[in-house]
Amino acid sequence: MTITPLARTLDQELVALVRGASLACPVCSEFVLHMRGAYGLAIACPECRSILAEGDAVPELALPTVAQAG
In a domain, 21, yes or no: yes
In a domain, 62, yes or no: yes
In a domain, 3, yes or no: no
Question: Is 53:41 a contact under the CB 8 Å cutoff?
Answer: yes
Q: What is the per-residue pLDDT across 1-31, written as a single tens digit (0 to 9) for each?
A: 787 777 778 888 888 888 888 889 988 989 9
**Model pTM?**
0.63
Count structural domains, the chain: 1
Question: Is 45:32 a contact under the CB 8 Å cutoff?
Answer: yes
Question: Which domain covers residue 50, as residue numbers?
Answer: 10-69
pLDDT value at residue 19:
87
In a domain, 5, yes or no: no
